[in-house]
Chains A and B, each alone.
Chain A
Amino acid sequence: MEVTTAWYLVLGGILFAIGTFGLLVRRNPLVMFMCIELMLNAVNLTFVAFGRDLGDIGGQTAVFFVLVVAATEVVIGLAIVVAVMRHRPDATADDIAALKG
């Protein structure tokens, strides 16, 4: 039994689906960020798998940039979470409605 690209793609799909579910269900903003990281990792896995399948280093290059953008996203997101939680320590994602019309 040999591991083909499809196996990696299906694993990526499973991880992405789990991340989607968690993002939609959980209310703690920190856990929601972790679910976004899960989804990004699933996509990274498919990038590398396709890159290997097609014999193209571009897949790994895309993953490199995704890693950088994920890092900046976490930094900014956690800064916002810190700024919100300083005023309301029990805030969940539902309470952040300051911009609601």
Chain B
Amino acid sequence: METIVFIACAVICVVGALGVIIAKNPVHSALMLVATLFGVAVLFLAMDAQFLAAVQVIVYAGAIVVLFLFVIMLFGVYRSENLRVEPIAGQRPMAIAVGVSTLALGVIIVAIATGGSPTGDSAVTAPVLDSMTAHTQDATSVFNDNQSSGEEFLPNVRQLGRVIFTEYVWAFEITGILLTIAVVGAIALSRRAQPTRKQDEALSDTALSDTGREAR
């Protein structure tokens, strides 16, 4: 069952990703990006990360892609890119080389790491208590089961919340500050040039006198 889910989602993800970089029209790119994000969300579900799957759909597909589409609509929908010309000579072969070597490095690391636990000790911060790794009955997961058998079963959301609000609470607070800074920065960047102080005062003066006259 998981095999079918994985293969379907992997195909959706890869086709969507290729669509993002092939589509001439940025609107099509954004819609293809939605396909990839949904595929990743379903894969999160398959890996028992329910909270992240929901957040992926809400934040990425619901907010980020809509923001992309908003900016695209603001600056001309039909402004498509001519993909036939290559502005810098030899750029595409170089880009293909970089992409393929990135992929090759990743695959080599995976091939090396599939022998056992690839990054050393497991569960150095907080163990996954419900231990959904039924298919990896190797030494590490058995160790985890023994370690966490005394604690109660926790669903994914509660587990994540417990970790975020205890061990990672400073990172969480700093994230809030980061979001505030981003909001202020976005407003400051995208605001139109404001009228000068003198015009401002003149405007408010006329407004005041108008209301005064009406009151009289």
Given known pairs A27-B87, A41-B37, A57-B163, the reply for A10 and B67 (CB within 8 Å) is no
**Pick the contact of A34 from B68, B171, B190 — CB < 8 Å?**
B68
Contact digits for B8-25, partner A, Cβ 8 Å, 1 yes 0 no: 001001100110110000
Given known pairs A30-B72, A37-B33, A55-B131, the reply for A50 and B118 (CB within 8 Å) is yes
Are the C-beta atoms of B92 and A65 separated by less than 8 Å? no
**Pick the contact of A65 from B37, B132, B175, B181 — CB < 8 Å?**
B175
Q: Would you call the interface of chain B mostly helix, strand, loop, or mixed?
A: helix
Contact digits for B160-193, partner A, Cβ 8 Å, 1 yes 0 no: 1001100010010001001101110110011010
- B85-106, CB < 8 A from A: 87, 91-92, 94-96, 98-100, 102-103, 106
Binding site for A on B (CB under 8 A): 2-3, 6, 10, 13-14, 17-18, 20-21, 26, 29-30, 33, 36-37, 40, 43-44, 46-49, 51-52, 55-56, 59-60, 63-64, 67-68, 71-72, 74-76, 79, 81, 87, 91-92, 94-96, 98-100, 102-103, 106-107, 109-111, 113-114, 117-119, 122-128, 131-133, 135-136, 140-141, 144, 156, 159-160, 163-164, 168, 171, 175, 178-179, 181-183, 185-186, 189-190, 192
Are the C-beta atoms of B13 and A78 separated by less than 8 Å? no
Residue of B nearest to A24 (CB): B95
Residues on B with C-beta less than 8 A from A18 are 14, 17-18, 20-21, 99
**Pick the contact of B128 from A30, A31, A56, A85 — CB < 8 Å?**
A56
**Pick the contact of B110 from A10, A33, A57, A89 — CB < 8 Å?**
A10
Residue of A nearest to B181 (CB): A72
Are the C-beta atoms of A90 and B79 separated by less than 8 Å? yes
Residues on A with C-beta less than 8 A from B52 are 44, 48, 60, 63-64, 67
**Pick the contact of B160 from A64, A86, A94 — CB < 8 Å?**
A64
Are the C-beta atoms of A44 and B110 separated by less than 8 Å? no
**Pick the contact of B133 from A53, A80, A85, A89 — CB < 8 Å?**
A53
Residues on B with C-beta less than 8 A from A6 are 110-111, 113-114
